[in-house]
Structure 1
Amino acid sequence: MASLILTPENQIQRLNGILNRVQSLRELDIAHLTTAPRPKSWSVVEVLEHLNMAYRIYLPKIDDTLSQSPDLNKESEGFKARGWQKFVIEGQRPKNGKRKWKMKTLKRFTPIFDSADLTQEKMDSVFGQFLELHHHLKQSILASRTKDVSKVTFSSAVGSIVRFYLPEAFEFLLCHMERHMVQIDEIFE
C-alpha cells in the first residue's frame, strides 16, 4: 500500500476548485438546483446541505484541535496518513471522475427539503452556509501549517471507530466533497 502524504498546499488547491465550482452552481436557476434526477435521489441543493451538515460536526472539533496543537517554528512539510485512516479516506475519494460505490447516508446527515417549498432565500442560505463553512475549512488548513498536527486526534462524525489527526480529517472532508461534486455531475447528466 503506497503512502498517502498530505500537504496543505494540495488541500487548499483542491478546496479552491470546489469553492469556485459551488460559486458557479449558485448562478443556475432554481429548477436546475432543486430537481432530483430520480426518486430517492438528491438535488444539488440537497447535496450541498448534506455537506453543510457533515462539516458542522467537524467545525468545533477542528477548532478545539487547532487550539490544543503546539506551534511549530517552521511550516509542516506534509503528513503521512495512517493505514486505517487512509483506507477510510480512499473510500470517499472518487476515481477517474466516478464514485467507486454508493454509500447509504446516516439519517442525521440526510437533508430533508420539500422541493416545492425551496425559495430563492432558502437556497441562498444553503449556498451561503456552504461557502462560509468551507471558508472556515480553508482557514483551518492554512492555520495548521504552523502547528504540530501529530499531537491531538479527534473522533470522526461516525464515532471513535475512526480517529483523525487534522490533516487526515481535512483530506477526508475534501474527498467527501469531491465525491459529492461527482454526484452533482451525475445529476446534470
Structure 2
Amino acid sequence: MNSLEQLSQTARGLYETVATEFASLDLGFLNFKPAPESWSILECLEHLNRYSRYYNPAIAKAIAKNSDGKFVQSISHSWLGKKSLDMVRPDNLKKNKTVKHMNPNNSQLGRATVEEFLKHQQELLNLLQSAKGADLNKKAVPVEFFKLLKLRIGETLEFVVVHETRHVQQALRVKQQLEKRAAA
C-alpha cells in the first residue's frame, strides 16, 4: 500500500528522470524503436500523456467533490483497483494490450511530448497535494475505457503513478538499448 507522500515522491522521481534522461536527447534517439512493434521513448511518454489527459481532470473533479471535511488518508483497494494495479505494476512482465486509442505506436512525435509529460507530472503532484483533504476511499473516478466502472480516488492516484513508473522504466530500457548500439 502506498501513501500520498510515497506517491508524491515517486511522481517527483519520474519527473526528474524524464527531465534528466530524455529532455536533452536528440530527436532521432527519442524516436528510436528497438523493434517495429515496440515503442520508442516518445511513444512511451505519449501513451502516458493520453492517460493523463483523461485521468488528471477526472481526479481533480473527484477530489473537488469529495473534499468536504471527511478526510480518509489511507488508501484501500477495491477488487477492480487491485486488478488494475496488478496489471500495470513494473514487475508484472506480462505484456498487456492497450486499448487502441491509447496506443501511440507509429505516431509522429516531437519534443512537445516530453514537455507535455512534465506538465502533466506537475498537475499530478498538485493533485496528490490536493488529495490530502479528500476521502481517498470514495469511488469517484470513472475508468477511462468503461466509464460505468469507478475507481476510488486513492487507488486511481496509485494506478496513475504505478502505470507511469512501468512506462518510464520501459523508456529507460529503450535508452539502454540505444546506448549499447552506439557503443558497438
Q: What is the TM-score with the length of structure 2 in the denominator? A: 0.85
Counterpart of 2:75, as a letter, is F
Which residue is equivalent to 1:113? 107
Which residue is equivalent to 1:173? 160
CA contact (8 A) 1:156 1:163 kept: yes
SS for the counterpart of 2:93 is coil
RMSD: 1.9
CA contact (8 A) 1:6 1:168 kept: no
Q: Which moved more, 1:81-90 or 1:48-57?
A: 81-90
Correspondent of 1:63 among 60, 64, 71: 60
Distance in 2, matches of 1:10 and 1:104, equals 28
Q: Which segments of 5 or more consecutive residues in structure 1 lack a partner in the other structure?
A: none
Which residue is equivalent to 2:2? 6
CA contact (8 A) 1:85 1:162 kept: no
TM-superposed CA distance for 1:100, in Å, is 1.7
Distance in 2, matches of 1:86 and 1:131, equals 27
Distance in 2, matches of 1:151 and 1:105, equals 26
Which residue is equivalent to 1:184? 171
What is the count of residue pairs matched by the alignment?
174
TM-superposed CA distance for 1:8, in Å, is 0.5
Alignment deviations for residues 68-122 of structure 1 (CA, whole Å, 9 cap, x no partner): 113337x754222223311211211112xxx4211112111122424xxx5xxx3
SS for the counterpart of 1:163 is strand
Correspondent of 1:28 among 19, 25, 29: 25
Which contiguous aligned blocks of 4+ residues in structure 1 show a shift greater than 4 angstroms? none
Distance in 1, matches of 2:97 and 2:159, equals 17
State percent identity of aligned pairs. 25
TM-superposed CA distance for 1:26, in Å, is 0.6
TM-superposed CA distance for 1:30, in Å, is 1.8
Which residue is equivalent to 2:140? 153
Counterpart of 1:113, as a letter, is S
Distance in 2, matches of 1:102 and 1:38, equals 15
Pair 1:113–1:84, CA change in 2 (3 A): closer
Alignment deviations for residues 12-36 of structure 1 (CA, whole Å, 9 cap, x no partner): 0111111001101112222221111
Alignment deviations for residues 149-184 of structure 1 (CA, whole Å, 9 cap, x no partner): 333422211214642111111111111111112211
Which residue is equivalent to 1:163? 150
TM-superposed CA distance for 1:126, in Å, is 1.0
Q: Which segments of 5 or more consecutive residues in structure 2 lack a partner in the other structure?
A: 178-184
Q: What is the TM-score with the length of structure 1 in the denominator? A: 0.83
Distance in 1, matches of 2:35 and 2:147, equals 35
